[in-house]
């Protein structure tokens, strides 16, 4: 393993292509006809760790790839697959790393090779934190808010209402457990922001159950929390009102 970590030995493991990255960890292409997102791109340019969170299909990965394309080589790690870190180390010729050391070896590899890193499809802060190098540029995508320390978090909002957005929201909606789906539909008929008590009264449910479900909708980026109240983005409310 020392060749990758220190660059001192003969380097039996060599990869052609971008930045010496094994093919399956090279950055995919962003959409051919990428549109909008200038404000988000400017914010990502600030560097450090950026988390892009938002509902399924809203365009998190596309945005990350658009930005990373300009930086040349980078490392793409899909956290949704089984054992992504172990796979990556194996692909770099580091197959003898003990499971407990995998995250540290990964960080060391990323730091030494100065890889710009895309951690795609994260589902928790616990999954991501051990993989973050002490310095360097990392973009994380997640359907959940991760609230990572020392990271900027960008809520990726739907682009415009062109019909496609509604289709994309459907992807999130069909994955909701029944209670969340029912509250999603009910709350959409509230004229303005609403609180847990109001929703519990309309739904005929206990406040604590309602609170958990609303928090879940916030985590899935279907609702926004403002102080003690919740509100919908207009496009999301319009989507929720189409559901029965
Ligand atoms: N700014 C954009 N310009 C053009 N196409 C886009 C843009 N954003 C997203 N798309 C397209 O919309 C689709 C969904 O985008 P993407 O895969 O980035 O969603 P996502 O938020 O990463 O979803 P998931 O949570 O399922 O990973 C893709 O086909 C992507 O190419
Ligand atoms: Mg994605």
User: Range(s) for CATH 3.40.50.300 in the chain?
Assistant: 2-155
3-state secondary structure 61-117: HHHHHHHHHCCCCEEEEECCCCCHHHHHHHHCCCCCCCHHHHHHHHHHHHHHCCCEE
Assigned architecture for domain 2-155: 3-Layer(aba) Sandwich (3.40)
Q: Which ligand is nearest to the CA of 156?
A: 1
Q: Mean pLDDT, to the nearest integer, of 198-226?
A: 91
User: Ligand 1: distance of its center to the CA of 128 in Å?
Assistant: 21
Residues 35, 159: contact at Cβ < 8 Å? yes
Domain with CATH 1.10.10.10 in the chain: 164-241
Class of domain 164-241: mainly alpha
The yes-or-no verdict on residue 35 having pLDDT over 50 is yes
Number of H helices, E strands in the chain: 11, 7
- State the pLDDT at residue 100: 86
Instruction: Name the strand (E) or helix (H) holding 118.
Output: strand 116-122
Per the DSSP assignment, residues forming a β-bridge with 230 are: 194, 225
Please state, for a pLDDT cut of 70, what percent of the chain lies above it: 89
By most ligand atoms within 8 Å of CB, the mutation choice from 61, 64, 154, 164 for ligand 1 is: 61
Question: What is the overall mean pLDDT for the chain?
Answer: 84
Question: Is the confidence at residue 12, as pLDDT, over 70?
Answer: no
Distance (Å, whole) CA 80 – CA 61: 13
Report the C-alpha gap between 89 and 111 in whole angstroms: 14
Q: How much distance in Å is there from the Cα of 218 to the middle of ligand 1?
A: 20
pLDDT band at 10 (very low <50, low <70, confident <90, very high): very low
């Amino acid at each position: 393993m020392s060749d990758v970590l220190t660059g001192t030995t003969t380097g039996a493991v060599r990869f052609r292509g971008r930045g010496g990255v094994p093919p399956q960890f090279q950055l995919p292409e962003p959409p051919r006809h990428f549109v909008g997102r200038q404000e988000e791109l400017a914010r990502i340019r600030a560097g450090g760790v950026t988390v892009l969170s938002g509902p399924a299909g809203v365009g998190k990965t596309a945005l990350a790839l658009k930005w990373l394309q300009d930086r040349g080589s980078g490392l793409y790690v899909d956290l949704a697959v089984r054992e992504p870190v172990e796979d990556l180390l194996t692909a770099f010729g580091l197959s003898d790393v003990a499971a407990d050391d995998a995250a540290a070896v990964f960080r060391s590899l990323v730091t030494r090779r100065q890889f710009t890193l895309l951690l795609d499809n994260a589902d928790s802060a616990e999954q991501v934190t051990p993989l973050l190098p002490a310095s360097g540029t990392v973009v994380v995508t997640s359907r959940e808010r991760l609230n990572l320390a020392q990271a900027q978090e960008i809520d990726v909002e739907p682009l415009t209402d062109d019909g496609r957005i509604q289709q994309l929201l459907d992807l999130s909606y069909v994955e909701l457990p029944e209670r969340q789906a029912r509250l999603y539909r009910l709350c959409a008929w509230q004229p303005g922001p609403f609180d847990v008590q109001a929703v519990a009264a309309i739904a005929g449910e206990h406040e604590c159950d309602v609170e958990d479900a609303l928090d879940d909708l916030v985590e899935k980026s279907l609702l926004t929390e403002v102080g003690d109240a919740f509100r919908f983005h207009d496009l999301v409310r319009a989507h929720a009102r189409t559901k029965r």
